[in-house]
Amino acid sequence: MKTSLLKKLTSGEQLRKEEMKEVAQALFDEDTSESKIASVLTALQVRGESADEVAAIVEVLREKAMPISKQITGVMDNCGTGGDGSSSFNISSTSAFVLAGAGAKIAKHGNRSVSSKTGSADVLEELGISLDFSSEEVEELLETNGIAFLFAPYVHPRLKSIMKVRQDLGVPTIFNIIGPLTNPVTLETQLLGVYRRDMLSKMADVLNQLGITRGIVVNGAGHMDEASLAGENHLVLLDQGDVQSFTLKPEDVGLTSYPNNAIRGGDAKENAEILLSVLNGEPGAYLDTVLLNAGLGLYSAGMADNIKEGIDKARESIESGRALEKLNHLIEYSKYRKKAMSS
């Protein structure tokens, strides 16, 4: 890592995108010392990361990720940064199956719990879904089932060298916000939840730099990293480079208001039960929260002309049983490959 670039960072200067890419390459180099990694992460955190700097690290990390060889078109992801402290159930993971049941193609990128009780990987593993799909299996699942899961540590092996430094620092770093952006599958659409309202426009800028043609960045009522039924949600719509900010309340789209404590989750077993209850259409706050987020996802993907229409399509995905079918296919596929690998 060039000393000149490290000096610029630690003195509070912003780096140009190409400069940040050079720093990012060094971050993932096994020969870079932990002290230099810590200096970079701390400097970015103290000053605040620019959109160019976030995009630069994401692009480098994607280059080093598990390769997805096929150019699969029309793929989206729906994921939040975490960090909102809400202890909610796995909203985006549940919504992913609803989106797939409605015809979206979902490359669901996720991890184990970091800032919540149960991460997406924890709950999907509890349901019997494999976490180590190969690139060929991801491609097959996207084409045949319309949804595949990519476990972040498996598809990003270079992150291991940074994990210890992040744990030792014990404070949020740029890696707390880039997780949802590092999907190795080329995405056209993204529904991105952030726990920091001041990051909405910046993250929309990052999505644009990463080639997302249309997407939504949301900060929910109570500063959740998902859309919430508890009040006013703040959103930014990115469409072909244009950005539009707006707010949304549940009553605007015909949904009932619920406090955020009505959607609390628990451990992996409890959250798996909640996920299944939603996909089986059990009414209540869990279901309506998923309808809202899946509806936003369908609108962001251009599969609905407005959010209300997206919610209606999400509801039909559940009531028809198609959302549950997508989950069951992934479970059966995982069982089959496990049996084949052990024989």
The answer on whether 88 is annotated among ligand-binding residues is yes
The answer on whether 225 is annotated among ligand-binding residues is yes
How many of the other CB atoms lie within 10 Å of CB of 281? 14
The answer on whether 80 is annotated among ligand-binding residues is yes
The answer on whether 201 is annotated among ligand-binding residues is no
Range 316-339 burial, b when 16+ CB lie within 10 A, else e = ebbeeebbbbbbbbbeebbeeeee
* 308 contact partners, CB below 8 Å, separation of at least 6: 253, 254, 295
The answer on whether 58 is annotated among ligand-binding residues is no
The answer on whether 93 is annotated among ligand-binding residues is yes
Distance between CA atoms of residues 318 and 315, nearest Å: 5
The answer on whether 109 is annotated among ligand-binding residues is yes
At residue 214, what are phi and psi to the nearest 5 degrees? -150, 135
Closest CA to 238 of 278, 210, 273, 271: 210
The answer on whether 120 is annotated among ligand-binding residues is yes
Closest CA to 148 of 140, 159, 156: 140
How many of the other CB atoms lie within 10 Å of CB of 302? 14
The answer on whether 196 is annotated among ligand-binding residues is no
The answer on whether 329 is annotated among ligand-binding residues is no
Tell me the C-alpha to C-alpha distance, in Å, between residue 329 and each of 44, 145, 148, 270, 323.
Answer: 42, 7, 10, 21, 10
The answer on whether 306 is annotated among ligand-binding residues is no
> How far is residue 238 CA from its own chain's centroid?
16
* List of E strands, 157-260: 189-193, 214-219, 233-239, 242-248
The answer on whether 84 is annotated among ligand-binding residues is yes
The answer on whether 77 is annotated among ligand-binding residues is no
Per DSSP, the three-state class of 154 is helix
The answer on whether 113 is annotated among ligand-binding residues is yes
The answer on whether 208 is annotated among ligand-binding residues is no
The answer on whether 158 is annotated among ligand-binding residues is no
Closest CA to 120 of 275, 264, 230: 275
The answer on whether 261 is annotated among ligand-binding residues is no
Range 222-241 burial, b when 16+ CB lie within 10 A, else e = bbbbbbbbbeebbbbbbeee
Q: What angle do CA 207, 159, 156 make, to 5 degrees?
A: 65
Helix orientation angle between 17-27 and 34-47, rounded to the nearest 10 degrees: 140
Distance between CA atoms of residues 37 and 162, nearest Å: 7
Annotated binding site for 5-phospho-alpha-D-ribose 1-diphosphate: 80, 83-84, 88, 90-93, 108-116, 120
Which positions make up the binding site for Mg(2+)? Answer: 92, 225-226
Bind-site residues: 80, 83-84, 88, 90-93, 108-116, 120, 166, 225-226
Residue positions forming the annotated binding site for anthranilate: 80, 111, 166
